[in-house]
Structure 1
């Protein structure tokens, strides 16, 4: 018996009287906390993975005990050290954005999103705990890739279903949901990162596993307050969809064109978790009053800046929109690319002015601030653009395609990160500035030549 069968009046209960959580349905509080737990576990891995490999696991005395590592090294062409770590990181972080497509398919066709999500949470927790065993490192990464794929696409869809179509609280619900994500990104480096670097790597990974288990237990307990499951009935016939028009196909082509552009434009931001952390660990001045701060705290600085700038940029456009016409999605993405370029140039300046000593935190902090303003203009806005371009018949599919940009960005980051050890640092970061410039030019061309034809944007050529 499903939850929907146990509570047949659930849909009728989704009304404006349900304000148990900050004026929203109680289920939102559960979903936000569960998503926060999952993102805490993911960003714990993001924060620690490269540092763990470079400073510990890939050292000869430890690498020999990792099952399958020599085969993987051969697959990558015999590379070692930091380039090897970068390649592993790139494949891991790209695949976690590819597998949710399969996770959504499994939920829609066979298991339903609840069973799929619970399976994903269990597999993720197993992956985190396997990180305690050095020999099982590659199996741990595989479990995490599969687990995130089953989990990620099947929780956000439940948020919207807590509300009736005309309920104006829906937009704010997603903002609350993303606040939980941002809090987790800030907390993960402070807790798991500090434990991993200061106490022991396995303490950091283990903490992520414990938090994931807590989130999974809470999700199971939240059943009565969640929307009905979408598990397909046996023998149910598929409903026919409306045929695609020529305009619809042009929009799909535009979306597919934007995916690689987005991947290139996101490169600087995604590099923060890879070569940037190795650079910071080796060259940043992180010792204050005799105490060396964990390198992973740079991620907390970035996450705090991102959280602050998301709020600040949103508030700015509320103010600006009352006085002048607010830029459209592509206009904001163009503005964001300019800030991303400026942020990348801060890293170039940090490398160029280093001299013989350590790099002070002025230029890195300026990078995080400017890059976060760029992030606030590109990431949320680009998702809105993709959904705006999406034909009705392919709305959910287009959202899945959107995440392929992150798959591509992280895959490229894994490749480009291997250059860090052999390329002058100024050239390394200038390359990232160039990728942001490519994004800027592509967004301008898209706005000038395609926006009016596809979306009827005023001001387009």
Structure 2
């Protein structure tokens, strides 16, 4: 983008005093998050619903494992998605193509309800398409926001705040609309609503794309001598994607057998191994200074902490969603409230409390009282544990076969959200500030590897809350509470050592913006969720 063009963009005041291009990204992302979180709220409920009720009839462990694989795939796909935009398509085209693929995925999910495709084909092919499309769209729409503000500063931060409001508005509305359509018209109408949301986002994006200027219209120039490498990676990406679809078809046709639970477990080992190899390689890099190596050790601790946090937090779409459906009284004034409505609590709480936390960190920082990075992680786990403490009580109350008031889930989501605001934006901000410059992008990618690992673990953990072992729920929630307490204590004990090791007193963490994929940070679940 030229300086003159950047100046013209910065001077436009047509969207809440910000560059008009922000309006394009705001509404595009609002509708994309509407579609993503609307469909996600239906996902596990659809899988465990009996075939006679229009569902797939999977058992709880299988359904939650598939859910974990899907949500982890969304994070992992952001890595090649960002690379393809930089080297092949450009950010603006990647957003457009990604949105089209996402819309196609939601449509394919909806088609079985209208007799146009087999149920299992529609479901699994739709999920794969959404993962591929989200990997193209999410990391690149975030980078476009920052490019509207070449001057940086507070105005750029304010622009991201507006952008995140759009994200969370979409995440709030999606489960409401899709949930009410599901209980009144059927599962596939809910999936169709998600498709309509993404198509609306595409229309908004295309009609106003010219407001984004020239940034990201073309890919970055390939360095001389790298043409062959770029071509090879591009080909490998396409072949890899094609193989995923081929394997899915072979499994659906019964040629091969895929066990979702085993696949999820193996995927955990693969991600852990990749992370260990990566961090080990960085630590033995002789070009790094002593301070950089010590900061990498801190980043390893944050990586582990984030993965463990997401394994609990991401129960929202799986085990807690099932708890809302099966064990929570959901009738208000004679109207049946969909279980999906509880998925709207996190983005609602984010919209309410994110400004408070932002002001809190800034005001504490002015008084030199801002908690350090590991201390904020401890606070995050403390509140995660408190949230599960409420579920421990709720699980005890359903042992006689009754249902509990929605209050327990309201409190659980409240403390999980405030815990998220203490840990997740801080972790991503810290990663951006502590990462060695020569490994900056790779370290940011590893943060999302951690999110993927957490989502896989969340799917496996959710399988422990099967409807067949309700009597074990209180004990399992008690164990989670104890585990969260142990991690809290571990971070509290480690705080002075980590601060000294990496000179954390020199690193400010008053940035509480968020995105699901590479960029800053998005609230609303991953992602967000991350």
Aligned pair in 2 of structure 1 residues 83, 399: CA closer, same or farther (>3 Å)? same
Matched residues, number: 434
1:188-267 superposed matches below 5 A: 188-227=174-213, 228-229=215-216, 231-233=219-221, 236=224, 244-267=288-311
- Residue 92 of structure 1 corresponds to 70
Aligned pair in 2 of structure 1 residues 401, 189: CA closer, same or farther (>3 Å)? same
Say which of 505, 508, 511 aligns to 1:457.
Answer: 505
Aligned pair in 2 of structure 1 residues 45, 436: CA closer, same or farther (>3 Å)? farther
The alpha carbon displacement at 1:456 in A equals 4.2
Secondary structure of 1:231's match?
coil
The alpha carbon displacement at 1:192 in A equals 1.3
Shift >4 Å, 4+ stretches: 59-64, 234-238, 318-324
Say which of 81, 85, 90 aligns to 2:59.
Answer: 81
Distance 2:414 2:387 in 1: 8
Distance 1:221 1:138 in 2: 32
Distance 2:65 2:167 in 1: 26
- Residue 453 of structure 2 corresponds to 408
- Residue 441 of structure 2 corresponds to 396
**Cα shift readout 1:314-354 (whole Å, capped 9, x = no counterpart):** 23444555556222333222222222211110110111233
- Residue 21 of structure 2 corresponds to 27
Distance 2:47 2:221 in 1: 46
The alpha carbon displacement at 1:250 in A equals 3.8
Distance 2:4 2:365 in 1: 41
Asked whether the 8 Å contact 2:47–2:56 carries over to 1, the reply is no
The alpha carbon displacement at 1:412 in A equals 0.5
- Residue 97 of structure 2 corresponds to 119
- Residue 381 of structure 2 corresponds to 337
Asked whether the 8 Å contact 1:125–1:213 carries over to 2, the reply is yes
The alpha carbon displacement at 1:378 in A equals 1.2
- Residue 307 of structure 1 corresponds to 351
Deviates more, 1:38-47 or 1:298-307: 298-307
Aligned pair in 2 of structure 1 residues 8, 302: CA closer, same or farther (>3 Å)? closer
Deviates more, 1:254-263 or 1:48-57: 254-263
Asked whether the 8 Å contact 1:54–1:81 carries over to 2, the reply is yes
Say which of 172, 175, 200 aligns to 2:161.
Answer: 175
The alpha carbon displacement at 1:243 in A equals 5.5
The alpha carbon displacement at 1:301 in A equals 2.6
Structure 2 stretches lacking a partner, 5+ long: 113-118, 227-285, 508-530
Q: TM-score scaled by structure 1? A: 0.87
Secondary structure of 1:358's match?
coil
Say which of 325, 329, 333 aligns to 1:281.
Answer: 325
Deviates more, 1:201-210 or 1:363-372: 363-372
The alpha carbon displacement at 1:235 in A equals 5.6
The alpha carbon displacement at 1:256 in A equals 3.5
Distance 2:180 2:136 in 1: 29
Distance 1:205 1:455 in 2: 49
Q: Indicate yes or no: 2:377 matched with 1:383.
A: no
The alpha carbon displacement at 1:453 in A equals 2.0
Structure 1 stretches lacking a partner, 5+ long: 65-79
**Cα shift readout 1:49-68 (whole Å, capped 9, x = no counterpart):** 001111145x698659xxxx
Say which of 117, 122, 137 aligns to 1:136.
Answer: 122
Secondary structure of 2:329's match?
coil
Q: CA RMSD in A?
A: 2.6
Q: Indicate yes or no: 2:437 matched with 1:437.
A: no
Distance 2:177 2:224 in 1: 47
Asked whether the 8 Å contact 1:329–1:384 carries over to 2, the reply is no
The alpha carbon displacement at 1:281 in A equals 0.9
**Cα shift readout 1:37-91 (whole Å, capped 9, x = no counterpart):** 111111012201001111145x698659xxxxxxxxxxxxxxx411111111111
Distance 1:445 1:138 in 2: 45
Say which of 1, 4, 8 aligns to 1:13.
Answer: 8
Q: TM-score scaled by structure 2? A: 0.76
